[in-house]
């Protein structure tokens, strides 16, 4: 029986709690150790849950949001190459 927080990387609630206990107690470090919010969906489904678990564990309110970086959706590298060729 598993409670899945992140479907893309199969991160469970237990995994996150253990990681927070081990000292990875903000989203930036948490995502680096567990892979949460870094999957194919880019955190669309696990971001709020991970923040929720963090807030619950640390007794704080939800405030931070992880930095979003492009690309927002997968894009073939070829598209980027041809664009950059043109700008040069």
Partner 1 sequence: MEDWRVYKHPILEFERGKEVTLYLDGKPMKAFENETILAAMYANGVRVFSRSIKYHRPRGFFCAIGRCSSCMMEVDGVPNVRTCITKVKDGMHLRRQKTFADKFAPFLNLLNLSPLAYNRMFTKPGIIYKPAMKIIRQFTGQGSFSKKIEESGEEIMGIDDEFSTELLIVGGGPAGLSAALEAGQRCDDVIVIDDKEQLGGQLNRQTHMFFSDVKYAAGKRGFKLGKEMVEKISKLKTVRVLPKTNAIAYYPMENKMLMLRSTDRGLMVKAKKYIVAVGAYEKTLLFENNDLPGIYGAGGVQTLLNIYGVKPGKKGLMLGTGNVSLIVAYQLLQAGIGVEAIVAPSFRRVSGYLVHAAKIRRHGVPIITRHTILRALGKQRVTGALITELDEKYRPIEGTEKRLDCDFICMGVGLTPSYDLIQLFNPKMVYSSELGGFVPVRDMQFRFAENAYIAGDCGGVEEATTAVLEGGLAGLYAARSLGYADEEVSAKIDEYEHALEEDRGSPFSSDIKAALQKITVENIEEVIK
Q: Is 88 in the site for partner 1 (CB under 8 A)?
A: no
Nearest to 28 by CA among 56, 69, 60: 69
Euclidean distance between CA atoms 41 and 47, whole angstroms: 10
Could you say which DSSP state residue 39 is in? S
User: Does the protein bind partner 1 through residue 3 (CB under 8 A)?
Assistant: yes
Among 9, 20, 24, 27, binds partner 1 (CB under 8 A): 9
Q: How far is the CB of 13 from partner 1 (least distance, A)?
A: 6
Alpha helices (H) along 1-88: 13-21, 27-34, 47-58, 77-87
The verdict on 42 binding partner 1 (CB under 8 A) reads yes
Task: Using CB under 8 A, list all residues that contact partner 1.
Answer: 1-5, 7-10, 13, 35, 39-42, 44-45, 48-49, 61-63, 65, 67-68, 70-76, 78-83, 85-87
């Amino acid at each position: 029986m598993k409670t899945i927080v992140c479907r893309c990387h199969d991160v469970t609630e237990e995994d996150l709690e253990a990681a927070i206990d081990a000292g990875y107690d903000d989203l930036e470090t948490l995502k680096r150790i567990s892979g949460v919010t870094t999957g194919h969906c880019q955190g669309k489904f696990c971001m709020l849950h991970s923040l929720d678990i963090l807030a619950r564990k640390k007794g704080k309110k939800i405030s931070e949001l992880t930095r979003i970086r492009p690309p927002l959706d997968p894009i073939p590298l070829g598209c980027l190459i041809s664009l950059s060729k043109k700008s040069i």
